[in-house]
Structure 1
């Protein structure tokens, strides 16, 4: 099977842990559903192509790859000639996705754990064109993103992603299926764009309110949001007696709308 064997040396500075379990690789690729009929797929950090081989075999969507490791790029170009011109040596966080990808597209990958949160923030920036994301991340990050209000792990990324995506924690992945094995467990998430096309408030202000609320998450909202100068009537809301992790997406929207009025 293509992609098998240790051909590329994993680089610690890039957060590389190469998946070698073919069954799990197939399951990750099979988790793409074609939600909202996107036109292409972008794979982030393909490494030696353990997911790539199944994406190519599936053949449903034109495929683009972004990889920051020159050695992995050379390996992919050698072993997957069908991808000529579609393996991009680049930092995903710096790539101009508007230029690289036309139309709507899904994102998939075994995301480097040291930048996984940043990857999801970039997904949010392009949410109108990214209907579906399937990614493997550190288990704790996956739990945080999927956490419901009231959970201790519910945080900024939980609220911001859940405002625009339905989140599914699909399955846990043990360290032993990677080379080298990470010191943590991993998990696969699926994000599918919800029906909220736009927030009924300023996106920028909503993001600011959420970040401010969780910046001092042990405080009640009344104290945590004091610097935002909440209107006097709003300061009396019982909702502000709660802490940030107790609020739903709708609660944060309501507070943001109050600040706009």
Structure 2
């Protein structure tokens, strides 16, 4: 089978530089904490080929594009029985990988730009089993996730993910490294599960407080959080959402509760 043609409706931009692919795969550092890794959107396997060379990782892939699935099955016989031919957002459950009780895993991939944020919300649902994430995204989104408080890029995903993961921005990738080239730069980030098994507050309420605070990010929180019925004064309420750490949001959540 010849090369797969990238499909615009699937947000496909195939990485063509193997040096970058190898660099991304080398960011995975299991440290004995997990064995299984799920690659999202492998396309023609530019990352997959290096994942399969790693003896410390048992690689699975999920790919919606049937043409790419056919290509992977033909060129990577080692993936037999490990290719999920479906939509990650529909299939995502740790049970798919037949994880044992409390078994950890990793997620890696050149995430489709059009669903990258949704992928992270799925990761948060299974944060106790997703030990590590290494991924390439639109640079703007990657910077947003890795940004700290007080930065204009800092947002909802930054707070929610930083509550449970230590996040580092690894490197940028120019459009010319892809076929077809996207109209924006890309960025690679790494997330490693931190020590927070659970937050010191109602986590569902925490999510609501963070999202409500950023819905009107230009307003101070004493106004932005009015929909939640706040009836108290606190120094944190004189700040904007982008100025607060996740620990500050935990404090506010407990005060509101």
TM value normalised by structure 1: 0.94
Measure how far apart 1:193 and its partner are: 0.5
2:150 partner SS: coil
Structure 2 CA distance for partners of 1:24 and 1:67, relative to 1, 3 Å: same
Measure how far apart 1:20 and its partner are: 0.7
Contact 2:175 2:183 survives alignment (8 Å): yes
The runs of 5 or more residues in structure 1 that have no matched partner are none
Deviations 1:85-138 (A, max 9, x none): 111111001114232121211000000001000011111111000110000000
Distance 1:117 1:184 in 2: 16
Distance 1:87 1:130 in 2: 19
2:44 partner SS: coil
2:130 partner SS: coil
Residues 143-162 of structure 1 aligned to structure 2 (within 5 Å)? 143-162=143-162
Distance 1:125 1:36 in 2: 23
User: Number of residues paired by the alignment?
Assistant: 253
Query: What does residue 220 of structure 1 align with?
Result: 220
Query: What does residue 249 of structure 2 align with?
Result: 252
Distance 1:239 1:119 in 2: 31
Distance 1:240 1:220 in 2: 7
State the 4+ residue runs in structure 1 displaced beyond 4 angstroms: none
Measure how far apart 1:6 and its partner are: 6.5
Are 1:238 and 2:229 counterparts? no
Measure how far apart 1:39 and its partner are: 2.2
TM value normalised by structure 2: 0.96
